[in-house]
């Protein structure tokens, strides 16, 4: 097994190695307003709960707090320009659906819109915001999921910090090495 030579590294940059999953587009709505935000900081909390870091200066935060719901949309690499554009655009003055050529679609169980161009859409309801003021952490339960039937493994984007993304690549199955109860 290979051993690595290591050097000291800034603790404020460890997210470059620990980002948990693909960058997502979070859509929200309240009253007559809707918005989209780009999010890289999220984590699974069990099988149907997702913890999300939503910055206190993000316009979507207030829409989500008021409505207590959102849609977590999973874009593929083909949407990288929209992902970056949405992330660079702040506030209520821009309709991000229109500005970035994204199509809103009606959700089945929440008031926030789905993004049709995304590979997957997870309709979520907030179940805990007790850590929002201290850590900007919100916990959502997925109440309805929509996932494209093909491809099986999409090319998602994963943020590494400093404007660098990793694109999901090769997939290898090690299923036969797992105990069935561990799958």
Of 101-115, 123-137, 168-182, least confident by mean pLDDT is 168-182
In order of start, what are the domains of the chain with their CATH numbers? 11-182 (2.30.110.10)
pLDDT at 150 over 80: yes
C-alpha span between 42 and 122 (Å, rounded): 13
118-129: per-residue pLDDT in tens? 999 999 999 999
65-110: per-residue pLDDT in tens? 999 999 999 999 999 999 999 999 998 999 999 999 999 999 999 9
Q: What local confidence, expressed as pLDDT, does residue 171 receive?
A: 86
Instruction: Please provide the size of the chain in residues.
Output: 183
The DSSP element (H or E) to which 51 belongs, if any, is strand 49-53
Evaluate whether 145 touches 121 at the Cβ level (below 8 Å): yes
pLDDT at 12 over 90: no
C-alpha span between 125 and 139 (Å, rounded): 9
Q: What local confidence, expressed as pLDDT, does residue 9 receive?
A: 84
C-alpha span between 87 and 78 (Å, rounded): 16
pLDDT band at 175 (very low <50, low <70, confident <90, very high): confident
């Amino acid at each position: 097994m290979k051993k690595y030579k290591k050097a000291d590294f800034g603790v404020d940059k460890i997210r470059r190695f620990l980002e948990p999953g693909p960058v997502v587009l979070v859509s929200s709505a309240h009253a007559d307003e809707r918005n989209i935000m780009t999010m890289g900081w999220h984590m699974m909390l069990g099988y149907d709960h997702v913890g999300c870091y939503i910055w206190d200066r993000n316009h979507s935060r207030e829409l989500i707090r008021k409505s207590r719901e959102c849609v977590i949309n999973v874009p593929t690499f083909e949407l990288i320009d929209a992902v970056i554009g949405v992330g660079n655009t702040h506030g209520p003055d821009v309709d991000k659906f229109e500005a970035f050529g994204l199509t809103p679609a009606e959700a089945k169980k929440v008031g926030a819109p789905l993004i049709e161009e995304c590979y997957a859409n997870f309709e979520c309801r907030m179940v805990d915001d007790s850590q929002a003021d201290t850590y900007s952490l919100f916990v959502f339960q997925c109440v309805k999921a929509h996932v494209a039937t093909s491809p099986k493994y999409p090319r998602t984007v994963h943020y590494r910090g400093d404007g660098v993304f990793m694109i999901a690549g090769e997939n290898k199955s090690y299923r036969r090495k797992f105990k069935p109860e561990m799958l």
